[in-house]
Structure 1
Amino acid sequence: MNIAHLSLGTNLGNKLENLNNAIKKITSLGKILKVSSVYQTPPWGFKSDDFFNIALTLQTSLNADELIKHLLNFELELGRTRVSENIGYQARPLDIDIVFFNDEIINTENLTIPHPRMHERNFVLIPLIEIVSDFNHPVLNKTLETLFDECDDKSEITRTKHQLISISK
């Protein structure tokens, strides 16, 4: 079995419903072991409404390529439309990233793991720290806590009181 650590974000529509719908779909890919609290975060790199962000840990029999194909399909099913990469960051109903996959380093045309900019973004680091604080980044060889301490992102990240659906099967 493989362990994937995912980062999910949403800032369009009913954000809590978007996250819950994503969790429901992700449960079809394996067993969700942990889900962070819901964090409210400002948009990163563009102006828009605040995001809700979470991290989760998934145990799955899928390999990383299979997993990303399913996750991208879930994004589409839940309303995400992708436009040219040249436009830059934009508002979206759902974004799902594989931040870590086991302790593998993957660099293909379609997938880069660990996520190449995760260590620069508190909206990824803070939810991950809540569920796997001692995880060691396989490229940077630092814990998530250390990466957070060294991060230049000073965005205000707020833990909300929102509750997500139960993940127990």
Structure 2
Amino acid sequence: MKEHDVFLLQGSNKENKKKYLDQSLILISDELGKVIKISSYFESEAWNMKNYSIFYNRAIHIKTNYSPIDLLKKILNIEFFIGRRKNSCQGEYQNREIDIDILFYDHIMIYSFILKIPHPLLHLRRFVLEPMCEIAPNQNHPMFNLTILEILGLCIDKLYVKKISK
């Protein structure tokens, strides 16, 4: 069975943010595959949200045997287990215990109603690029043919992002 290189981004802005990131990391390791590398925690302002608290984010590199769709299903189960309940208000970002996004899956591109890989907004978000740059600065974006480091250098997002610890 082929192993796939996957990059994920964890985010939390409710109560004990580190606890939610750490709890989801254990489940990612148990349910999704082998954890290869983990970024530091990064604190950031919320992107396109009103009435929010500060986010903690972290990038993770894993090896998995799951297909992109099966991986997404397992991620949604982890989010639900930790307490995330998605509201029916489409288009509005909400405070959350945990959010786990698939940033990259090998070098493939998927653009469907339920799954988009690479993540369609990652190049616009400093809170994604900073932790990704820490663990995989030379990761190539298959759509732009630029590395994460190059994309970070071009990013115009000015929201606060700060590395807080490992």
* TM-score tier (shorter): over 0.9
Distance in 2, matches of 1:90 and 1:153, equals 20
Give TM-score scaled by structure 2 length: 0.94
Give TM-score scaled by structure 1 length: 0.93
Find out whether 1:151 has 2:150 as its counterpart.
Answer: no
Deviation of 1:85 (Å): 4.3
Distance in 2, matches of 1:145 and 1:87, equals 29
- Unmatched segments (≥5 aa) in structure 2: none
- Tell me the residue number matched to 2:90: 86
Find out whether 1:43 has 2:71 as its counterpart.
Answer: no
Question: Could you report, residue by residue, the CA deviation over 1:36-78 in whole angstroms, capped at 9, with x for unpaired residues?
Answer: 0000001111131000000000101111111110001100110
Deviation of 1:156 (Å): 1.6
Deviation of 1:110 (Å): 1.2
Give the alignment of 1:62-81 within 5 angstroms.
62-81=66-85
Q: How many residues align?
A: 162
Deviation of 1:146 (Å): 1.1
Report which of the two has the higher share of strand. Answer: 2
Q: Percent identity?
A: 35
- Unmatched segments (≥5 aa) in structure 1: 164-169
- Tell me the residue number matched to 2:116: 112
- Tell me the residue number matched to 1:60: 64
- Tell me the residue number matched to 2:18: 16
Distance 1:103 1:69, change over 3 A: same
SS in 2 for 1:86: coil
- Tell me the residue number matched to 2:8: 6
Distance 1:87 1:104, change over 3 A: closer
Deviation of 1:109 (Å): 2.1
* Deviates most, 79-88 or 143-152: 79-88
